[in-house]
Amino acid sequence: MAGPAVAARSESVTALTSDDVPAMVDLVARARPGPFRERTIELGNYYGHWIDGRLAAMAGHRFHLNGYREISAVCTDAAFRGRGLATELVRHLTALTEADGDAAFLHVSASNGAAIALYERLGFTLRRQVAFGALRPPVVTS
Protein backbone atom coordinates (compact mmCIF):
# COMPACT_ATOMS: atom_id res chain seq x y z
CA MET A 1 0.00 0.00 0.00
CA ALA A 2 1.23 3.49 -0.72
CA GLY A 3 0.72 6.79 1.16
CA PRO A 4 0.07 9.60 1.72
CA ALA A 5 -0.99 9.18 5.29
CA VAL A 6 -1.84 11.86 7.81
CA ALA A 7 1.63 12.49 9.19
CA ALA A 8 2.45 13.82 12.64
CA ARG A 9 5.50 13.21 14.77
CA SER A 10 4.77 11.94 18.25
CA GLU A 11 6.58 12.67 21.49
CA SER A 12 5.07 9.61 23.17
CA VAL A 13 6.79 6.96 21.04
CA THR A 14 10.17 5.59 22.08
CA ALA A 15 13.06 4.83 19.76
CA LEU A 16 13.86 1.12 20.08
CA THR A 17 17.46 -0.10 20.24
CA SER A 18 19.30 -3.39 20.01
CA ASP A 19 18.69 -3.77 23.77
CA ASP A 20 14.95 -3.99 22.98
CA VAL A 21 15.28 -6.78 20.40
CA PRO A 22 14.12 -9.58 22.75
CA ALA A 23 10.90 -7.66 23.51
CA MET A 24 10.47 -6.84 19.82
CA VAL A 25 10.89 -10.46 18.72
CA ASP A 26 8.47 -11.55 21.46
CA LEU A 27 5.83 -9.03 20.33
CA VAL A 28 6.24 -10.10 16.70
CA ALA A 29 5.82 -13.77 17.69
CA ARG A 30 2.49 -12.93 19.33
CA ALA A 31 1.14 -10.30 16.92
CA ARG A 32 2.51 -11.87 13.71
CA PRO A 33 2.86 -8.78 11.49
CA GLY A 34 5.22 -10.57 9.11
CA PRO A 35 8.93 -11.29 8.93
CA PHE A 36 11.05 -9.83 11.72
CA ARG A 37 14.18 -11.42 13.11
CA GLU A 38 16.85 -10.50 15.66
CA ARG A 39 18.88 -8.47 13.15
CA THR A 40 15.96 -6.77 11.35
CA ILE A 41 16.47 -3.70 13.54
CA GLU A 42 19.75 -3.13 11.68
CA LEU A 43 17.78 -2.29 8.52
CA GLY A 44 16.18 0.88 9.91
CA ASN A 45 14.83 2.78 12.87
CA TYR A 46 12.08 1.21 14.96
CA TYR A 47 9.79 2.87 17.47
CA GLY A 48 7.45 1.57 20.11
CA HIS A 49 5.02 2.18 22.92
CA TRP A 50 5.92 0.75 26.32
CA ILE A 51 3.05 0.28 28.78
CA ASP A 52 3.68 -1.02 32.29
CA GLY A 53 7.12 -2.29 31.25
CA ARG A 54 5.77 -4.22 28.24
CA LEU A 55 6.34 -3.42 24.59
CA ALA A 56 2.71 -2.82 23.64
CA ALA A 57 3.18 -1.77 20.01
CA MET A 58 5.95 -1.16 17.51
CA ALA A 59 6.71 -0.22 13.91
CA GLY A 60 9.75 0.86 11.98
CA HIS A 61 11.50 1.59 8.75
CA ARG A 62 12.97 -1.34 6.86
CA PHE A 63 13.66 -0.94 3.15
CA HIS A 64 14.85 2.41 1.83
CA LEU A 65 14.63 2.67 -1.93
CA ASN A 66 15.31 5.73 -4.06
CA GLY A 67 12.51 8.12 -3.04
CA TYR A 68 10.58 5.57 -0.97
CA ARG A 69 10.79 4.14 2.54
CA GLU A 70 8.94 1.09 3.82
CA ILE A 71 7.04 1.14 7.09
CA SER A 72 7.43 -2.33 8.55
CA ALA A 73 6.53 -4.58 11.48
CA VAL A 74 3.45 -2.58 12.50
CA CYS A 75 1.98 -4.57 15.37
CA THR A 76 0.16 -4.21 18.66
CA ASP A 77 -0.14 -6.67 21.53
CA ALA A 78 -3.74 -7.96 21.65
CA ALA A 79 -4.13 -6.62 25.20
CA PHE A 80 -3.48 -3.06 24.00
CA ARG A 81 -5.41 -2.92 20.71
CA GLY A 82 -8.02 -0.26 20.13
CA ARG A 83 -5.99 2.53 21.78
CA GLY A 84 -4.62 4.09 18.59
CA LEU A 85 -1.04 2.95 19.23
CA ALA A 86 -0.44 1.61 15.71
CA THR A 87 -2.07 4.70 14.21
CA GLU A 88 0.27 6.95 16.17
CA LEU A 89 3.32 4.90 15.15
CA VAL A 90 2.40 4.91 11.44
CA ARG A 91 1.77 8.67 11.52
CA HIS A 92 5.10 9.22 13.28
CA LEU A 93 7.02 7.12 10.76
CA THR A 94 5.24 8.76 7.84
CA ALA A 95 6.21 12.20 9.16
CA LEU A 96 9.85 11.12 9.46
CA THR A 97 9.73 9.66 5.95
CA GLU A 98 8.24 12.81 4.45
CA ALA A 99 10.74 15.02 6.31
CA ASP A 100 13.49 13.14 4.46
CA GLY A 101 11.74 13.82 1.15
CA ASP A 102 10.61 10.22 0.66
CA ALA A 103 7.19 8.64 0.21
CA ALA A 104 6.01 6.00 2.67
CA PHE A 105 4.82 2.56 1.59
CA LEU A 106 4.08 -0.71 3.33
CA HIS A 107 3.15 -4.31 2.71
CA VAL A 108 0.17 -6.07 4.25
CA SER A 109 -1.28 -9.54 3.90
CA ALA A 110 -4.54 -9.56 1.95
CA SER A 111 -6.04 -11.61 4.80
CA ASN A 112 -5.31 -8.89 7.41
CA GLY A 113 -8.50 -6.89 7.06
CA ALA A 114 -7.99 -4.91 10.28
CA ALA A 115 -4.59 -3.64 9.15
CA ILE A 116 -5.86 -2.80 5.66
CA ALA A 117 -8.75 -0.81 7.16
CA LEU A 118 -6.31 1.08 9.42
CA TYR A 119 -3.96 1.94 6.55
CA GLU A 120 -6.86 3.07 4.35
CA ARG A 121 -8.16 5.32 7.16
CA LEU A 122 -4.69 6.87 7.26
CA GLY A 123 -4.81 7.59 3.54
CA PHE A 124 -2.79 4.70 2.14
CA THR A 125 -4.08 3.10 -1.03
CA LEU A 126 -3.68 -0.35 -2.52
CA ARG A 127 -1.17 -0.21 -5.34
CA ARG A 128 -0.69 -3.82 -6.25
CA GLN A 129 -1.40 -7.34 -5.05
CA VAL A 130 1.61 -9.63 -5.02
CA ALA A 131 1.66 -13.40 -4.55
CA PHE A 132 4.57 -14.70 -2.50
CA GLY A 133 5.75 -18.26 -2.36
CA ALA A 134 8.60 -20.24 -0.92
CA LEU A 135 10.55 -23.03 -2.48
CA ARG A 136 12.71 -25.52 -0.68
CA PRO A 137 15.19 -27.84 -2.29
CA PRO A 138 14.28 -31.51 -2.11
CA VAL A 139 15.75 -33.47 0.75
CA VAL A 140 18.43 -35.79 -0.54
CA THR A 141 18.96 -38.97 1.42
CA SER A 142 21.82 -41.33 0.87
**By C-alpha distance, which of 65, 62, 72 is closest to 103?**
65
Is residue 9 pLDDT above 70, yes or no?
A: no
Q: What is the mean pLDDT of residues 129-137?
A: 74
CA distance 28 to 77: 9
**By C-alpha distance, which of 15, 27, 39 is closest to 93?**
15
Angle of helix 113-121 versus helix 85-99 axis, rounded to 10: 50
For the chain, the structural domain boundaries read 14-121
Task: Enter the DSSP assignment of 10.
Answer: -
What are the E-state strand segments in the chain? 14-16, 46-51, 54-65, 68-76, 103-106
Q: What is the mean pLDDT of residues 18-47?
A: 89
pLDDT at 87: 93
Lowest mean pLDDT among 50-54, 117-121, 125-129: 125-129
pLDDT at 4: 54
Residue count (the chain): 142
Could you read off the pLDDT of 83-119 as tens digits, one per residue?
999 999 999 999 999 999 999 998 888 888 888 888 8
Could you read off the pLDDT of 53-75 as tens digits, one per residue?
999 999 999 888 899 999 999 99
Is residue 2 pLDDT above 60, yes or no?
A: no
The residue that leads in pLDDT, 108 or 6, is 108
| CATH number for the domain formed by residue range(s) 14-121 | 3.40.630.30
pLDDT at 114: 85
